Amino acid sequence: MLARAARVIAYDRAMHIVITHNEPGAGLAWQRELSRRLPDLQISIDPGCPDGAAGLPGTRSHPASAELASADIAIGWKPPADFFSRHSRLQAFFSTGAGVDHLLRHPGLPAGLTIIRLEDAGMGPLMADYCLHELLRIAGRHDAYAAQQRDRCWQELPAFSREDLPVGIVGVGVLGAQVGAHLARAGFTVRGFARSAKSIEGVEVMHGDRAWPAFLAASRVLILLAPHTPQTDKLIDAAALRLLQPQGWLINVARGALVVEADLIAELDSGRLAGATLDVFRQEPLPASDPLWHHRAVRITPHVSAPTQIGPSAEQIAGKIGALRRGERCSGQVDSQRGY
Ligand code: NAP
Ligand code: GLV
């Protein structure tokens, strides 16, 4: 895979980059940021995405369709259904997010296409602050006080100490490791769970199927930061949630598909689980009819725990394209068998 990517991009002819992004405005923003950093390359917006009819004036942003078909590299998020059939000579795809499930589940994805993801690119500190903020809210009983305020009730409740709230993080890769270290520095006891052994300052990392029940049993607040893969789909079901310490919390900042929503609601309704903070959902936007919207113990944010930071991300991608053009390796290449 590495050799393929390094070989692919060292073309003699000028490289053509195509941007595809499902959000209006994002295609143009990426074109602007990348054109500044890669001024010698042709950078187009795919006509099949919302910004496809637009483009930077003065750039070669409206190539004829024959040229578009010869794009060498794609950069983007959630390409349209016919994207890969229109870009048949594509050699690499840079995801404008850390996750690549939007690509690996694309029915038209060509086998063997090199996929490169964002690595941190400014998301780590945001994710770490989001999780710390949630933990401090839990510790300070802020949900209970918000409910009391609605009832005009003045009643002091015992706060939780750091020791009361041992944290378990499922997935301690680029982002999970930063979250873990941040929470540990803030005085929480933090364990991580990954597929392989690793060392993170202040965090005990467990791995392997046999360690899974013990990891859950040691956690009262469970943070999800693993990718969505066939192995993590529905990983957090009733059985997993029941292994958590009593009156636990779930913080899902990974992907909604990791959680069995009906089981989560049942655990919250039974009172075994005290609350959940959900930033991600199996279907996004979360449908208005979804019961999670109205659950008293659920906090919802619209997939904003660590938004892509376009400046640092464009800088990272431009740096990697430069490395590949020089025939060097670059990090962040996805193992499509593994799923991340
Ligand atoms: P990463 O560096 O690839 O880390 C993934 C971690 O998950 C690794 O520690 C990996 O274990 C672990 N893992 C993989 N499969 C697992 C399994 N079956 N059981 C337990 N652990 C497993 O990814 P990242 O950059 O930290 O990003 C993680 C995820 O966060 C992304 O895939 C994305 O879904 C999500 N995300 C969400 C937002 C948001 O705004 N909500 C923003 C960015 C990213 P090994 O270390 O052993 O390989
Ligand atoms: C966001 O969800 C990402 O994967 O970067």
pLDDT in tens, 255-283: 999 999 999 999 999 999 999 999 999 99
- Please indicate, yes or no, whether residues 139 and 215 belong to a single structural domain of this protein: yes
Q: E strands of 208-258, at which residues?
A: 221-224, 248-252
Cis peptide before 285 (omega within 30 of 0): yes
- Please indicate, yes or no, whether residues 116 and 155 belong to a single structural domain of this protein: no
Q: Is 181 in the pocket of ligand 1 (CB under 6 A)?
A: no
> Could you tell me the CATH number of the domain that includes residue 276?
3.40.50.720
- Please indicate, yes or no, whether residues 212 and 168 belong to a single structural domain of this protein: yes
* Catalytic site residue from 37, 272, 282, 303: 303
Domain count of the fold of the chain: 2
Ligand 1: atom nearest CA of 120 is 25
The answer to whether residue 333 is domain-embedded is no
52-91 b/e with 16+ CB inside 10 Å = b? Answer: beebeeeeebbbeeeebbebbbbbbbbbbeebbebbeebb
Distance, C-alpha 275 to centroid of its chain: 22
> Is the pLDDT confidence value at 92 over 50?
yes
**Residue 197 lies in domain:** 123-300
- Convert the pLDDT of each residue in 305-319 to its tens digit: 999 999 999 999 999
Q: Which residues contact 261 (CB under 8 A, 6 or more apart)?
A: 282, 292
Please state the rounded mean pLDDT for residues 138-153: 97
- Please indicate, yes or no, whether residues 127 and 252 belong to a single structural domain of this protein: yes
Q: Is 99 in the pocket of ligand 2 (CB under 6 A)?
A: yes
Tell me the CA–centroid distance for residue 77 and ligand 2, in Å: 9
Please state the rounded mean pLDDT for residues 196-216: 97
The answer to whether residue 231 is domain-embedded is yes
The whole-angstrom separation of Cα 251 and Cα 278 is 6
> Is the pLDDT confidence value at 1 over 50?
no
Q: What is the pTM of this model?
A: 0.95
255 carries an active-site annotation:
yes
The answer to whether residue 175 is domain-embedded is yes
Would strands 92-95 and 73-77 be described as parallel, antiparallel, or unpaired? parallel
